[in-house]
Chains A and B, each alone.
Chain A
Amino acid sequence: MAGSTLEIKDLHVSIEGGEILKGVNLTIKGGEFHAVMGPNGTGKSTLASAIMGHPKYEVTKGSILLDGEDVLEMEVDERAKAGLFLAMQYPSEISGVTNSDFLRSSINAQREEGDEISLMKFIKEMDKSMDELEMDKNMAQRYLNEGFSGGEKKRNEILQLMMLKPAIGILDEIDSGLDIDALKVVAKGINSLRNETFGCLMITHYQRLLDYITPDYVHVMMKGRVVKSGGPELAQRLEAEGYDWIKKELGIEDATVENA
């Protein structure tokens, strides 16, 4: 199989009545790595959350299709089972549920009843992924994200990504909070997933991440829209010159989403 296609068409999203996304168009195919950049408050996390089905975000117009299937009709868990994964900017902490129980439930949720992963196999796979991410083995028995440092939370998101092997991975600022060594380790983990059945959308502010994970496409969001797309050189220019030249080019003064 060649990999999945996620199509976002004219997506409008509101939160508590205010429109934040104002017509986003984006297509991600298996094998492709896309980077989404843009100033703070321009709707990047909103896009990621709307794709995954965050309860606070209301899609008012447009469509999201995964291999032609209407994602907006699916419950959050169905979206995950269809192949979507979001590494969140701010993952939840859940007390009393161990990281390992959570991971095993997640893996089993994506398998048929009666075909659950054996405990031995699960532990082996988890150990392997944790080694790759240079994570402390104790993290497996800690409660999910509870008391994790910022960087540990990010690594834990990537651990889930590596174990769940989705068709499309969306990574929201996976590089924030990571020290330089950790960034390399995490990038290596993400790169290990690179093949034609895995499509990826990385939200980031920094070229640094893209030095390790080279994107095929770079998009810039402002005012709740994708205002510019290009290749990896676009990210390099942003790193060097900032966003002003795009704003000038497009006649934008304030890039953030102005709420009604």
Chain B
Amino acid sequence: MTVDTKLPYEKEYISNYSADRNEPEWMKSLRLRALELVDTLPMPKPEKTNITKWNFDKFKHQSEGKKLDSLNDLPEDIQVFLDKENKNSNLVIQRNQSLAYQSLDNSLQEKGVILTDLSTALEKHSELVQRYYMKDAVAIDENRLTALHTALMNGGLFVYVPKNVVVEEPLQAIFWQEDPEVATFNHVIVVAEENSSLTYVENYISHNEQEEAVANIVTEVIAMDNASISFGAVDNFAKGTTVYVNRRGVAYRDASIDWALGQMNDGNTASENITHLIGDNSHSEAKTVTVGRGDQSQNFTAKIVHFGKQSEGYILQHGVMKDNASSIFNGIGKIEHGAAKSNAEQESRVLMLSKGARGDANPILLIDEDDVTAGHAASVGRVDPIQLYYLMSRGISQKEAERLIIHGFLAPVVNEIPITAVREQLTQVIEGKVY
């Protein structure tokens, strides 16, 4: 491909950046290898959305953030995401690229649970991180953006739950891009070892209405044999940020990975959420909600690939589109040869609130095995006038009736978000975007 925006980042810059952060040698060489690949690889090509004109190359790469002495110093609109129910005992807050706050319950620490920023993890658990970093889930050379991500990674998180450890309380991360121009090259790794389980919820927040910024995020989620991971997210990047977010899961035998993603960005977004069901009897549910508004263009690919026998995959995408927003929903179930007795279901539903909006639901089944079950459903529609009439006939105003119908439409996903505060917050964000 032709790239007229040659990266302003050279080998030397990357080497220095890595050295400044005291990174292990393997990380530095991985970055440099990725940098060489950047200009040889094509951009990702999400189905039916042309992202070639989107800004992924112009950004400020570095920006520090101050430590938080107290959670009370957080702005109000971030405080609301905090998990007060669990006294914020398992929480990491990243401010720009710096670790601003960190807590992890003592008993979990004793059991060997790790919840820390990636930089610290590289320092303290270099081998463990290396074992998973761009290995089993995402590859550095998948496309130009994954290579760019690897070269310029500037933040992230490492979550690790050892064998047989069950973490009941949710683990939470807040990634706050306070500097309106800084890029988010965040890398999150979540690993649940054999027979372990965890719930993780992350929030991305920025406020750059005017300033242009880029988010290029890779998240790798690994569930070893019989492990289960519940992964929740509310993405809330402001209008100025162009987002590429790649969330990838790998589930081994009897493992499960369930996603509940609130994709509430205000800028152009390409989101790829792919889960590989490697092991027999593995399971994944991928549920996403989005509200599109303004002129934003978004592409959401949710894909579950079945390798293991008797693996179960269920995709549910719900979107509400208003103004001139346009969104493509690709729900892809792929069953590989040998994945006998597997089941793949996809459902994509889009609710249109205005004439200028565009929504496109594409459930896709790709099946290479005979002995399977699969199903899909899709719909694109408007608020049903008869439902409105019914609600209004009880005195409910048109606006409130629409609100109820929209919340009801999004409820199947919103209700899956694990932390109550985050779920309520997602509801608020939806409220703010719809009206």
In the complex, whether B153 has a CB less than 8 A from a CB of chain A is: no
With A96-B411, A109-B400 known as contacts, the answer to whether A164 contacts B394 (CB < 8 A) is yes
| B404 close to A164 (CB less than 8 A) | no
Q: Inside 8 A of B388's CB, which chain A residues have their CB? A: 55
B394 touches A106 (CB 8 A): yes
Which residue of chain A has its CB nearest to the CB of B406? A96
Contact A105 B408 (CB under 8 A): no
Pair A95/B408 contact, Cβ less than 8 Å:
yes
Neighbouring A residues of B411 by C-beta, 8 Å: 95-97
Chain A residues lying within 8 Å of B387, measured Cβ to Cβ, are 92, 94
Interface residue count on the B side (C-beta < 8 Å): 25
Within 8 A of A (CB), among B360-419: 384-398, 400-401, 404-405, 407-412
Say if the beta carbon of A212 comes within 8 Å of chain B. Answer: no
Which chain B residue has the least Cβ–Cβ distance from A49? B389
A161 CB → nearest B CB, Å? 10
Contact with B along A79-108 (1 / 0, CB 8 A): 111000110100110111100011001100
Question: How many angstroms from the CA of A106 to the CA of B388 in the assembled complex?
Answer: 13
**Distance between A112 CB and nearest chain B CB, rounded to angstroms:** 12
What 0/1 readout, one digit per residue, does chain B (267-280) give for beta carbons within 8 Å of chain A? 00000000000000
User: Which chain B residues lie closer than 8 Å to A160 at the CB level?
Assistant: 394
A42 to chain B, nearest CB (A): 22
- Answer whether A102 and B400 are a contact pair too, CB < 8 Å, given A96-B410, A109-B395: no
A53 in the interface, Cβ–Cβ < 8 Å?
A: yes
Tell whether, in the assembled complex, residue B398 and residue A77 are in contact, meaning their CB atoms are under 8 Å apart.
yes
For the complex, give the distance between the alpha carbons of A95 and B410 in Å. Answer: 9
In the complex formed, the residue of B with least CB distance to A76 is: B392
Interface residue ranges of B45-78 to A (CB < 8 Å): none
User: By CB atoms of chain A within 10 A, which of B396, B409, B412 has the most?
Assistant: B396
Q: Which residues of the partner chain A approach B412 to less than 8 Å between Cβ atoms?
A: 95-96
Expressed in whole angstroms, the minimum distance between the Cβ of A164 and any Cβ of chain B is 7
Would you call A77 and B410 a contact (CB within 8 A)?
Answer: no
| Contact across chains for A94 and B396 when beta carbons are under 8 A apart | no
Q: Are A92 and B386 in contact (CB under 8 A)?
A: yes
Taking a contact as CB atoms under 8 Å apart, the answer to whether B395 and A143 are in contact is no
For chain A, give the interface size range. Answer: 20 to 34
Measured CB to CB, the nearest residue on chain A to B384 is A92
A94 contacts B393, CB within 8 Å? no
Docked complex: A109-150 residues within 8 A CB-CB of B? 109-110, 143-144
Contact pick for B397, options A77, A86, A102, A143, CB 8 Å: A77
With a CB–CB cut-off of 8 A, which chain A residues contact B390? 88, 91-92, 94
User: How far, in angstroms, from A54 to B391 measured CA to CA in the complex?
Assistant: 11
Tell me how far the C-beta of B90 lies from the nearest C-beta in chain A, rounded to whole angstroms. 30
Residues A77 and B392 in contact, CB atoms below 8 Å apart: yes
Q: Say if the beta carbon of A52 comes within 8 Å of chain B.
A: yes
**Closest residue on chain B to residue A78 by CB atoms:** B395
Interface residues in A21-70 (C-beta closer than 8 Å to B): 52-55
Smallest CB gap from A86: residue in B? B393
A128 to B329, CA, bound (A): 45
Is B404 touching A80 in the complex (CB atoms < 8 A)? Answer: no
A244 on the B face (CB < 8 A): no
Q: How far is the CA of A96 from the CA of B316 in the complex (A)?
A: 14
- Which residues of the partner chain A approach B395 to less than 8 Å between Cβ atoms? 77, 80-81, 106, 109-110, 164
Check: A75 CB closer than 8 A to any chain B CB.
yes
Q: A55-B385, A55-B389 are in contact. Are A109 and B407 (CB under 8 A)?
A: no
Q: Are A94 and B392 touching (Cβ within 8 A)?
A: no
Contact partners of B409 in chain A: CB under 8 A: 95-96
Q: Once bound together, how far apart are the Cα atoms of A54 and B409, in whole Å?
A: 23
Whose C-beta in chain B lies nearest to the C-beta of A52? Answer: B393
Q: Smallest Cβ distance from A159 to chain B, in angstroms?
A: 11
User: Using Cβ atoms and an 8 Å threshold, which residues of chain A touch B404?
Assistant: 94, 97, 101-102, 105
Bound-state Cα–Cα, A160 to B393, Å = 11
Q: Which residues on the A side are within 8 Å of B410 (C-beta)?
A: 96
Docked pose: A79 CA to B387 CA in angstroms: 17
Contact (A54, B389) CB under 8 Å given A97-B405, A101-B404 = yes
Interface residues of A in 177-210 (CB under 8 A from B): none
> How far apart are A49's CB and chain B's nearest CB, in angstroms?
9
Q: Which of A75, A96, A143 touches B392 (beta carbons < 8 Å)?
A: A75
A-B contact pairs, 27 of them (CB 8 A): A53-B389, A53-B393, A54-B389, A55-B385, A55-B389, A77-B396, A77-B398, A80-B392, A80-B394, A85-B394, A88-B390, A88-B393, A91-B390, A92-B389, A94-B387, A94-B391, A94-B404, A96-B411, A97-B405, A97-B408, A101-B404, A102-B391, A102-B394, A106-B395, A109-B394, A109-B395, A144-B408
Q: Apart from A92-B384, A110-B395, what 17 extra A-B contacts exist at CB < 8 Å?
A: A55-B385, A55-B386, A75-B392, A77-B401, A80-B393, A80-B394, A80-B395, A81-B395, A92-B391, A94-B390, A94-B408, A97-B411, A102-B404, A105-B394, A106-B395, A144-B408, A164-B395
